[in-house]
Amino acid sequence: MATTEEIIFALRKSNKVGNVEDSKRLTDMYFKTQEVENNFNVPLDQRESKKPFTYDFERFNIITKKEWLVAPWSSTAVPRYKELISDYGYGDNFTAALLGNAAVESGGSFAANQKERGDKSATGRGIWQYTNETNTAYDKWLSINPDVKDGGWAQVKFMHKLLTGEIKNPKTGGAFLGDGHLKEFKKLIDNPKTTSSQYNDFILDVVMRPTDPEESRGRRNIYTDLFYEDIKASDNLEDIKND
């Protein structure tokens, strides 16, 4: 695990930021590596990756810097989140879309304890910034499952339960996301031709539901595509090793 000082040194050496003050600010905002480790809560027997998923820091940094982020994401957290998501049986397209949305929602930190920035009354938290009713449902789920602690593993598991309809709407008793939306999601999952962009739209419009979805749709698609490319490259590398 790199220290803050080591990250600052690396950033300055690569001319990604101008001075120590800016570097410290960026590492505080985006490099939540130790916090990710402390809050990940993945059982030890689940921490071994089944596939050696990696991605190109430099390529991501160059592309995302032009759009919104100014620093690459945690080399520790992202592969683990990819494994946790794909372990539920989700394909590469949908896994990439969830990662792409997490990149935008968490401001690039992928920290499970990331708080929503800006308005002090905002409630968003975590890798997908569970907010308002979703945040309340997440808290309720944690309260009735005392063996589960808030963290990256828990937030991925809760996302899966939202998508399977296990989390209920307290007002209607139906699926939290809506029975109609879950039928729509099942059609997407059952169709092998569903693209990462279609999954990205579903996550944004049905699960995330930001006030202004068009403001960030393009960024989410860019990050989703980048993750998809690296996931496929990693899968191809694994296939070559197994031949």
Which residue ranges make up each domain of the chain?
Answer: 32-242
For residue 237, is pLDDT > 80?
no
CA 107/CA 216 separation, integer angstroms:
12
Percentage of the chain beyond pLDDT 70 is 62
26 vs 108, which has greater pLDDT?
108
* Alpha carbon of residue 19 to chain centroid: 29
Overall pTM surpassing 0.85 (yes/no): no
Whether 149 shows a pLDDT value over 50: the answer reads yes
CATH number of the domain located at residue range(s) 32-242 in this protein: 1.10.530.10
Average pLDDT over residues 46-73: 47
Average pLDDT over residues 95-117: 85
Instruction: To the nearest 10°, report the CA torsion of 124, 53, 68, 223.
Output: -90
DSSP assignment of 136-158 equals HHHHHHHHT-TT--SSHHHHHHH
Return the ∠ at Cα 155 (arms to 151 and 159), rounded to 5°.
Answer: 175
